[in-house]
Amino acid sequence: MPSQVQKVSASTDTVHAHTFPVDERMRVYAHVFEAIGQPLIVTDLTGSIVYWNGSAATVFGKRRDEMVGRSVMAVADGDEWRLKITHVLEEVGQRGQWNGELMVQRSDGVQASAVVNARLWHHERDQDAIVILVTGINRQKRSESYTGRRVIRRRRRNADLPRRFKRRLSGVRRANRWLRREIAEYRRNEQELRFQAKLLATVSQAVLATDTSGVITYWSPSAERMFGWSAAEMIGAIGFYLVAGLPDLELIGAMRAAIGAGKPWEGEFMLRRRDGTVFPAYAAISPIFDEQNRRIGAVGVVSDITERKRDQQALADANVRLQAANADLQLSHDLLHTIVDNLDDGLALIDSQRVIQVVNRQFARLLEMPPEHLPGASCDDVCPVVAPIVARTLSGGVKSFERVSHAHPSGEVITLDVYGIPLRDASGAQRVVLRLVDVTERLQLEAIMRQNERLAASGRLAAAVAHEINTPLQSIQNYLYLLRSSSIEQSTAFLDLASSEITRVSTLLHRLLDLHRPGDRSIELIDSNAIIERVVLLLGSALRGCSIRVEQELAPDLPRFLGQRDALMQVLLNLLLNAIDAMPCGGALRITTRRALETIDQSARWCVQIIVADNGPGIAFDLQERIFDPFFTTKPHGSGLGLAVSRQLVEQHGGSLRVQSTPGNGATFIVSLPVAEDA
Ligand code: ADP
């Protein structure tokens, strides 16, 4: 048997390798079959020779390549052989074996008798074969004229024939047993080869083999699929030039050099299919050696890496996008960090255990602490001033606010507005964002502004007072001048006029005193509804005189509060008198009281509200704040002090006085007076 298998399989998964190297064991079998020194012929059931060993070639003088594929009839000339071998094949077909002597024709033309052992070999299902082992070939006498000595010798030998036959037979049996074992081994190997062939047919990689000159000797089914060239087209061709896509001479040179040096090589190529399309491929190429370690070719495994390349490209693109996104993110992060760190407000994130997680620079600065000491510390320990609001925000889960004073170690005291903002993270854990606003400077500025305002107001007031007093004084001066040259009756009239001017000055001064004499009234529990009823009673005739209809909607459960009764009466009198002035020809006056929640100094407070609404002409928008200025009046004889004094009195109670009016649609004055929480 040669070192290359003629036909690996006859099934559908035929490997198209007509000369495919076999494995080591197969080589051993080949040696054994050769070494037995007896002709060994294997045929299929029709007698077609599938195997012909070296001894058969020597004995019968016919080469293996001549005989494989031919009928066993062709082993010897003549009808006798043909008849007998036909009989042998029939016997083996029916009984499984045939043993006996046959006359065969040797290579030197001599007819010789031979012991023939033929056996059916269940080589594989539907693949039975007949193994014919020829032993003991003897020279046969050519004619009847052989010498008597030969006849005697022959007779002697014939007498010895049973013994010799027995010996040979036992030899043949031994050989048969050995053959069976070898055949079993051969079958296993063949199955293995079939399996490998199947594997090669199944794998997606193309497998191909070349001889040393680059001629394709094997072309797997997957290579057919990958390149579109069939094995029949490729085997025998210099395949590389058919499949090289964009030949990279340097790469090809490197590959040739490696294979030439007997080393494996791997790398990436651009390869071409039969239809001309080019694709990227990865090839691993290894040299093949024969038993004498001579390089007889190379085997290559080629993978189509189009998908991999596409994936690599997609990955690279995604990477680029990711890097860009990362850079953006980093930029946003840095930006945010810079903004947060440079805010004027202090910011801190505090967890549910009141442990500080993150702070910005300003937070640490406001508390005069090194920023690195804050994260991880308990806010109760490091900033007790904010601890209550943190606790309140965590427990209530709502925004909270507190204004606190904080003494720095340096002794400086600052005022902080502390805002606690609840923050629930994705896991549901409650945290607090703490915002510290240093309002020290703002409060100082506000105080200065208020002072300035007061000074400005005093200036305006002084100017206004001077003007207000100057007018009646000039009148008095005029009347006194006229007195000198007037009759008694005229003098009386002038004195009356001067007296009324003096009364006007006195009233004015009283009002001024009201404005600047806040503390001389006694404090008592005030029932707003009772005061309203009293004032409405006092002004009853004036209201009726002007045909003003009064509607009262007074809340029965109105809380009482501590205040100055007279002051509040004066406020209501001013508001009602103004309403009467605003509706000289009649109208409706609605007085409402109610309990309401109002925001005073940024915190919600319960208040008693007294709402006085008329349906007079209302107040122009641009005058709505000015009407509270002292001496602002639109009335010919008004003092302009009623609302200024009223606002002052209400503010002394911690409340507010404001107006709402749509010009042409009446005016509504709202007095809000805070009440104690438990009122
Ligand atoms: P006086 O009543 O002496 O003018 P006030 O301070 O009481 O001083 O009022 C200032 C100005 O506010 C009034 O002159 C008037 O123009 C305006 N005003 C006050 N109340 C009303 C009202 N109910 N309707 C329209 N205007 C009003």
Nearest ligand 1 atom, CA 579? 23
DSSP string, 270-302: EEE-TTS-EEEEEEEEEEEE-TT--EEEEEEEE
615 Cβ below 6 A of ligand 1: no
Q: Is the CB of 430 under 6 A from ligand 1?
A: no
Kindly give the distance from the C-alpha atom of residue 602 to the centroid of ligand 1, in angstroms, as a whole number.
30
Q: Note whether 267 and 251 are within 8 A (CB).
A: yes
User: Does ligand 1 have an atom closer than 6 angstroms to the CB of 578?
Assistant: yes
Residue 143 phi, psi dihedral angles, 5° rounding: -155, 180
Mutate to test the pocket of ligand 1, among 546, 583, 623, 643 (most ligand atoms within 8 A of CB): 643
Domain 2-201 coded CATH 3.30.450.20: yes
Ligand 1 pocket, 570 CB below 6 A?
Answer: no
Q: How far is ligand 1, taken at its centre, from the CA of residue 662, in Å?
A: 15
CATH superfamily for 444-674 is: Histidine kinase-like ATPase, C-terminal domain (3.30.565.10)
pLDDT at 19 over 80: no
CA of 638 to the centre of ligand 1 (A): 8
What pLDDT sits at residue 511? 66
The helix or strand, by DSSP H or E, that contains position 460, with its residue range, turns out to be: helix 440-484
Q: Is 643 in the pocket of ligand 1 (CB under 6 A)?
A: yes
Q: Which residue's alpha carbon is nearest to atom 11 within ligand 1?
A: 633
Q: Give residue 614's pLDDT.
A: 97
Strand order, beta sheet including 548-554: 548-554, 587-600, 603-614, 667-674, 656-661
Provide CB contacts within 8 A for 530, sequence distance 6+: none
C-alpha 535 – ligand 1 centre gap (Å): 18
Reported pTM: 0.36
What pLDDT, in 10s, does the model give residues 66-115? Answer: 888 898 888 877 777 788 888 888 888 888 888 888 887 777 777 777 77
19 pocket-lining for ligand 1 (C-beta < 6 Å): no
> Max CA-CA distance within the chain?
214
Distance 618 CA to ligand 1 centre (A): 10
Q: What is the CATH number of domain 205-304?
A: 3.30.450.20
Confidence at 516, pLDDT banded by 50, 70, 90: low
627 pLDDT more than 90:
yes
Distance of CA 578 from the midpoint of ligand 1 (Å): 5
**pLDDT, greater one: 24 or 31:** 31
Cα(634) to centroid(ligand 1), Å: 7
The CB of 363 under 6 Å from ligand 1? The reply is no
Report pLDDT digits (tens) over 189-248.
777 777 666 666 666 788 888 888 888 888 888 899 999 999 888 888 877 777 777 667
- For residue 627, the CA-to-ligand 1 centroid distance in Å is 6
Kindly list the distances between the CA atom of residue 421 and the CA atoms of 109, 224, 349, 353, in Å, as whole numbers in the listed order: 116, 71, 10, 16
Please state which CATH number belongs to domain 343-438. Answer: 3.30.450.20
Nearest CA owner, ligand 1 atom 18 = 578
Distance between CA 540 and CA 549 in Å, rounded?
10
Asked whether residue 25 carries a pLDDT value surpassing 60, the answer given is no
Task: Establish whether residue 672 lines the binding site of ligand 1, counting it when its CB lies within 6 angstroms of any ligand atom.
Answer: no
Task: List, for residues 472-495, the tens digit of each pLDDT value.
Answer: 888 888 888 888 888 888 888 888
**What's residue 35's pLDDT?**
57
User: Does any ligand 1 atom lie closer than 6 A to the CB of residue 626?
Assistant: no
**Residue 574 near ligand 1, beta carbon < 6 Å:** yes
Atom of ligand 1 nearest to the CA of 640: 8
Ligand 1, atom 17: closest residue by C-alpha: 627
Q: Decide whether any atom of ligand 1 lies within 6 Å of the 71 Cβ.
A: no
- 613 Cβ inside 6 Å of ligand 1: no
Q: Using 50, 70 and 90 to split pLDDT, how confident is the model at 141? A: very low
Which pLDDT band holds residue 609 (cuts at 50, 70, 90)? Answer: very high
pLDDT of residue 136: 64
Cβ neighbors of 41 (< 8 A, separation 6 or more) are: 49, 51, 52, 53, 56, 72, 75, 131, 132, 134
Give the residue with greater pLDDT, 679 vs 627.
627
Torsion over CA: 629, 635, 641, 645 (sign): negative
Q: Whose CA is nearest to atom 20 of ligand 1?
A: 578
Do the first three CATH levels of 2-201 and 444-674 match, i.e. the same topology?
A: no
CA-nearest residue, atom 21 of ligand 1: 578
With a 6 Å cutoff on the Cβ, whether 630 touches ligand 1 is no
CA–centroid distance, 614 to ligand 1, in Å, is 12
Interatomic CA distance for residues 407 and 413, integer angstroms: 4
Of the candidates 268, 266, 215, the residue with the CA atom closest to the CA atom of residue 240:
215
Look at residue 199 in the predicted model and tell me its pLDDT.
Answer: 63
Q: Is 602 left (phi over 0), alpha (psi -120 to 50) or beta?
A: left
Map out the domains of the chain as residue ranges.
2-201, 205-304, 343-438, 444-674
The answer, yes or no, to whether any atom of ligand 1 lies below 6 A from the CB of 666, is: no
Best residue among 576, 581, 585, 639 to mutate for probing ligand 1's pocket (most ligand atoms within 8 Å of CB) is 581
Centre a 10 Å sphere on the Cβ of residue 512 and count the other Cβ atoms it contains: 20
CA 367 to ligand 1 center in whole angstroms: 50
Distance between CA atoms of 90 and 45, rounded to whole angstroms? Answer: 9
Sheet holding 356-359, edge to edge: 356-359, 346-350, 430-438, 413-424, 400-407
For the CA of 614, the nearest atom of ligand 1: 23
Q: Which of 309-323, 481-495, 530-544 has the highest mean pLDDT?
A: 309-323
